[in-house]
Amino acid sequence: MRQVRSMRSVEFRHEREATWAELETIIGKADKDGLRSLSAEQLARLPHLYRATLSSLSVARSISLDRALTEYLENLAARAYFVVYGARQVLRKQMAEFFLTRLPSAIREAKWHILVAFMVMLAGAIAAYQLTLTDMDYYYTFVGDMAQGRTPASSTAELRAGLYGGDSVNSTLATFAASLFSHNARIGIMAFALGFVAGLPTLLLLFYNGLVLGAFSALYHSRGLSVDLWGWLLPHGITELLAVILCGAGGFLLAHGLVFPGAKTRMDSLRERGRLAAVVVLGAVLMLFIAGIIEGVFRQRVTSVPVRYTVAAVTAAWWIFYFGFVGRRTVKRAAQVRAEDAHDAEMTGAWLASSSMSEGRR
């Protein structure tokens, strides 16, 4: 008995077992029914028990050779860690924070990549436009399957009718818009994901999109229907094209993180840019959804050209405002607070260092 009692590890366990059991009940309840099911006293006990268990783990690691005990404490501490650090904000607050701050500031952070994506698409559009104007046969090369009956072989009257289509297409419109949304969104997400292979497929996808656009506009321009075409395209097109560009930018962010990590390791650089890109792409998917709604609900119902252009202008102004200005103040304030904290920490450190030096001199 004497030998047993004097063993520190046995005594240590005997003393602390109750704490661990209490923690286990609390986290068991939290795991099953969520943090909200805990009572106020349990919530108050949780951090204390968690820290006590962490200290038990440290002690056990250094003095105890009871493998089962150390393993148990590792797992208990890990479970408690998840409960303590797993709490999230209320969903409403999270969404508000995302839309008001996170998304707009992410777009601002990614502005150079967005610019590059835009230039790639523009290059494709200009190239196709010029080529198709000189030789209409290029249209078939560029547009291919996406023509849906609108080709150089169609008469001008048919093309015009397509832009101001009547009610007969109404019933299939919803399907059309929905499948277009999911098709575009899927391509957008692929453009993002393909950034992982150094961004070349993303580049090609964007360029191809530009080609289609350019060829299309060349065809309509050659029939004198430019104004009508852009009136048809722009109300939803501004949102949609912007979304596609954002997805491309997301892909480029990934590629950038992978190929040019700069001073960081590739893993760290990918990690940072990957998260930024994911936020950007989520924004793009939402924009595609909005574009789909505008396209499906609005386009074939409203045929007045001035109205269409007004709506286009409104969407453009809205996105400029949202991405350019929303959330700036919050981000600036957060940066200010961080800078102040860092400054305070520095001052405290300097003060401590100087006071300990004077202590030493004494």
Under the criterion CB under 8 A, does residue 88 sit at the interface with other proteins? yes
54: nearest Cα among 86, 26, 77: 77
- Pick one of 153, 267, 307, 320: the residue that binds other proteins (CB under 8 A): 267
Q: How far apart are CA 111 and CA 78, in angstroms?
A: 40
Q: What is the DSSP letter of 49?
A: H
Cα 328 from Cα 314, distance rounded (Å): 21
Choose which of 44, 82, 335, 342 interacts with other proteins (CB under 8 A): 82
* 99 binds other proteins, rule: CB under 8 A: no
Asked if residue 334 binds other proteins (CB under 8 A), the reply is no
What's the sign of the alpha-carbon dihedral 32, 35, 37, 38? Answer: positive
Nearest Cα to Cα of residue 146 among 221, 215, 218: 215
Long-range contacts of 26-35 (CB under 8 A, 24+ apart): 26/83, 27/79, 27/80, 27/83, 30/83, 31/79, 31/83, 35/83, 35/87
Residue 254 is a binding residue for other proteins (CB under 8 A):
yes
For residue 245, give the nearest of 255, 257, 237, 233 by alpha carbon. 237
What CA–CA distance (Å, rounded) separates 283 from 337?
A: 27
Site string for other proteins, 149-188 (x = CB under 8 A): ----------------------xxxxx-xxx-xx--xx--
- Comparing CB distances to other proteins, the nearer of 164 and 289 is 289
Judged by beta carbon, residue 189 or residue 233, the one nearer other proteins is: 189
What is the DSSP code string of 257-292? HHH--TTS-HHHHHHHHHHHHHHHHHHHHHHHHHHH
- If one counts every other C-beta atom within 10 angstroms of the C-beta of residue 99, the result is 15
State the distance between the two ends of the chain, measured CA to CA, in whole angstroms: 53
Among the candidate windows 215-223, 227-235, 282-290, 346-354, which touches other proteins by CB under 8 A? 282-290
Query: How many CA atoms lie within 13 Å of 169's alpha carbon, on the beta-carbon side?
Result: 16
Regarding 33 and contact with other proteins (CB under 8 A), the answer is: no
Pick the closer one to other proteins by CB: 27 or 234. 27
Question: Token digits for 273?
Answer: 């840019």
Q: What whole-number distance in Å separates Cα of residue 56 and Cα of residue 289? A: 52
- Considering only the stretches 76-84, 212-220, 224-232, 353-361, report the one whose residues sit in contact with other proteins under the rule CB under 8 A: 76-84
Please tell me whether residue 286 binds other proteins under the rule CB under 8 A.
no
Q: How far is the CB of 316 from other proteins (least distance, A)?
A: 25
326 in Cβ contact with 107 (< 8 Å): no
- When binding is defined by CB under 8 A, the residue of 13, 236, 256, 308 that contacts other proteins is 13
Of 38, 46, 49, 76, which lies in the binding site for other proteins, with binding defined by CB under 8 A? 76
Of 9-17, 115-123, 212-220, 307-315, which part binds other proteins (CB under 8 A)?
Answer: 9-17
Pick the binder of other proteins from 81, 140, 309, 322 (CB under 8 A).
81
Check residue 4 for interaction with other proteins (CB under 8 A): yes
In the complex, minimum distance from the CB of residue 298 to other proteins, in angstroms, rounded to a whole number: 15
- Binding residue for other proteins (CB under 8 A) from 122, 133, 193, 305? 193
Three-state DSSP class for 361?
helix
For other proteins, the binding residue among 86, 144, 262, 324 (CB under 8 A) is 86
Q: Is 2 in the site for other proteins (CB under 8 A)?
A: yes
The footprint of other proteins on residues 102-121 (CB under 8 A) is: 102
Interacting residue with other proteins among 26, 46, 189, 219 (CB under 8 A): 189
Name which of 195 and 231 has its Cβ closer to other proteins.
195
Structure tokens belonging to residue 98 = 């995302």
Q: How far from chain centre, in Å, is Cα 195?
A: 14
- Single out the residue of 39, 43, 44, 71 in contact with other proteins (rule: CB under 8 A): 71
Residue 18 sits in the site that holds other proteins (CB under 8 A): no
Question: Rounded distance, CA 255 to CA 144, Å?
Answer: 29
Q: Between 127 and 278, name the residue whose CB sits nearer to other proteins.
A: 278
The tokens describing 130, both together, are 């010029």
